[in-house]
Amino acid sequence: YDNEVALYKYDFGDGWRHLVVFEEWIQPEKGAQYPQCISGERKCPPEDCGGPGGYTRFLEAIQNVDHEEHEKYLTWIGGRFDPNEFNPDQIRFDDPAERWRIAFEEP
């Protein structure tokens, strides 16, 4: 499985595409909950920010106090947004068994 890659498309209307890279298989630890995120980079863009183009405009506006939409975007996001911030403890997964049931079993 080394370096297997999956393309994950999120929010088809906005055109988000993510590459997910499988880096390593590890033995499960007894009592640990899976799946789990152990690392990553950068903060997730805000929901409904307008896809990659909208996110670029959002970042430009919040990082430039002279931008005409600076205050509007800061208010919309709640006052603070650091795109370089990442905390794996904030990542949440759906229950894999429930997702399997929804996808493959009859209602």
pLDDT digits (tens, 9 = 90+) for 45-61: 998 899 999 999 999 99
Which range marks the domain in which residue 63 is found? 46-104
The residue among 73, 69, 70 whose CA lies nearest residue 48 is 73
End-to-end CA distance of the chain: 33
Using the predicted structure, report yes or no on whether residue 1 has a pLDDT greater than 60. Answer: no
**Residue at 94 is within a domain:** yes
Quote the number of domains for the chain. Answer: 1
**Residue at 67 is within a domain:** yes
Higher pLDDT, 21 or 62: 62
What is the predicted pLDDT for the residue at 26? 80
**Residue at 63 is within a domain:** yes
- Reported pTM: 0.70
Q: What is the chain's length?
A: 107
Alpha-carbon distance 12 to 28, whole Å? 33
Alpha-carbon distance 4 to 23, whole Å? 7
Q: Report CA Rg, the chain.
A: 18
Using the predicted structure, report yes or no on whether residue 78 has a pLDDT greater than 90. Answer: yes
Identity of the residue numbered 85 = E
**Residue at 21 is within a domain:** no
**Residue at 17 is within a domain:** no
**Residue at 24 is within a domain:** no
Using the predicted structure, report yes or no on whether residue 2 has a pLDDT greater than 80. Answer: no
Contact yes or no for 28/34 (Cβ under 8 A): yes
Alpha-carbon distance 44 to 67, whole Å? 22
